[in-house]
Amino acid sequence: MVRASLQVLTAVEFIEAGTGLEAIEHLAVTDVALMVLDLNMPDMHGIDVLTFVRGQRRYKSVPIVVLTTRGDEASRRTAESSGATAYLTKPFAPAALADTVKRLMELSPADAAQRSEA
């Protein structure tokens, strides 16, 4: 089901991290074009990961999609003020995630940086 929705993307490679620390470790050795981040992780809060990532010059303009069960407005505002480019809540439609990723990947790096600073 997700595979069909993601046909709009080409040459996509996914790197999965089970914890926030593992995500940070991957980012230290791998360049990524976009990050999908949950706020609920076993070892650290997703906002801490988001803040760390946004603090790295190399990832200032990388789009970050927060995909979480937290649908409250306070969590959304916190994520956006911490640098989230987009915010989706679970349960979600795979097509909505694919559309968000496609839209964000079409932004120029300057547009993406501006969106994460707004």
Structural domain includes residue 105 = no
* CA pair distance 80, 54, nearest whole angstrom: 12
- Domain hosting residue 57, numbered range: 18-92
115 part of a folded domain = no
Q: pLDDT tens digit string along 23-73? A: 999 999 998 999 999 999 889 999 999 999 999 999 999 999 999 999 999
Quick one: which H or E segment has residue 68?
strand 64-68
> How many domains does the structure of the chain reveal?
1
In which band, very low, low, confident or very high, does the pLDDT at 112 lie, cut at 50, 70 and 90?
Answer: low
pLDDT at 73: 97
Q: Does residue 108 belong to any structural domain of this protein?
A: no
Q: Which domain CATH number covers 80? A: 3.40.50.2300
Distance CA 59, CA 23 (A): 13
Q: What is the DSSP letter of 55?
A: T
Predicted TM-score of the model (pTM)? 0.80
